[in-house]
Amino acid sequence: MDRFDAMRVFTRIVERRSFTAAAEDLGMPRATVTHTLQQLEGRLGTRLLNRTTRHVSPTLDGEAFYQRCLRLLADVEEAEGAFRATNPKGLLRVDVHGTLARHFLFPALPDLLARHPGLELSISEGDRLVDLVREGVDCVLRVGEPRDSALIGRRVALLPQATVASPAYLERFGMPATLEALEGHQAVNFVSSSTGRPYPFEFTVGEETRRLTLPGRISVTGADSFTAAARLGLGLIQVPRYHLAADLAAGTMVEVLSLYPPPALPVSVLYPQNRQLSPRVRVFVDWVAALFRA
């Protein structure tokens, strides 16, 4: 194994904090990963990792060597990527917002894979905060303003939103014509996975955004449960318009307070700084951006 491959093995062990996870990521036997690390430490004449049966962490020398490896490997990726960026190979791990991915990404996946036959995708779903480096994820697709300043982000879309309710709910509580008329109304509250608190309702009034918290008898943490509860007449919700476009067209859901729409939601692809030059990530980000432009 050459020196650059040994560096790749070492950096993945540090990132995953595990020989076994690093071996799985790299498609190698665990024994090969262990032997490569031992050879690297022997060549450098220093211990790079503290190892126990349950935990792996870099030593002070290991952390310094890890940072240098990242810069060197990024330079290699950039040089190689200039020639093979149009034909990336290998496994790309992405974490996506499930509803968004099913609506926009999945229908176009066959075309992406046909254009890049060497590319493999491992897709996980969620809206939680993901430690991309520790969990071995290459990039994430997220809705809302990015919260992690350590990540590189590319905004790919702005999603129009709407405030909606079911006809049964409006028959019971009435159609509000103004924000003041929301007094006495109920919400299905969507709880943030990061704060544990419901997201407020947001309304655009002129050039300002007004935030209101509405009472509700039900709170949820999943997008599908959110819309299902609203369809049952349990309260008002605010969602990206695409998510209930068919319901709005059929009249099974009704837009409320259309003169005061919620602000559009940004959609971004985020990735760690040390992977920004990966041809696989570059191709995926460009593909996602083109999908939303279309």
Please provide the DSSP assignment of 164-231 as one string: EE-HHHHHHH----SSGGGTT--BEEEBPTTTSSBPPEEEEETTEEEEE----SEEESSHHHHHHHHH
d(CA 288, CA 141) in angstroms, rounded, equals 9
Domain 3-84 class, CATH top level: mainly alpha
For the chain, the domains span 3-84, 90-157+266-293, 161-263
Main-chain dihedrals φ then ψ at residue 164, nearest 5 degrees = -135, 160
User: Would you say the CATH fold of 161-263 matches that of 90-157+266-293?
Assistant: yes
DSSP 108: G
pLDDT digit string (tens) for 228-284? 999 999 999 999 999 899 999 999 999 999 999 999 999 988 887 655 457 888 888
CATH architecture classification, 161-263:
3-Layer(aba) Sandwich (3.40)
Torsion region of 172: left, alpha or beta (phi above 0 gives left; psi -120 to 50 gives alpha): alpha
Strand intervals (E) in the chain: 49-51, 56-58, 90-96, 119-125, 139-143, 151-159, 161-165, 188-190, 201-205, 208-212, 218-220, 237-240, 254-256, 265-272
Distance CA 69, CA 91 (A): 21
* pLDDT value, residue 130: 59
Distances 272 to 92, 149, 174, 267 between C-alpha atoms, Å: 13, 10, 48, 17
pLDDT tens profile 29-60: 999 999 999 999 999 999 999 887 678 889 98
Q: What class has domain 90-157+266-293?
A: alpha beta
Biggest CA–CA distance in the chain, Å, is 77
Q: How does pLDDT run across 181-235, given as a tens digit for each residue?
A: 999 999 999 998 777 889 999 999 988 999 999 999 999 988 889 999 999 999 9
pLDDT tens-place string over residues 126-170:
655 556 656 667 888 888 877 666 677 788 889 999 999 999 999
DSSP 261: P
CA-closest candidate to residue 153, choices 162, 165, 141? 141
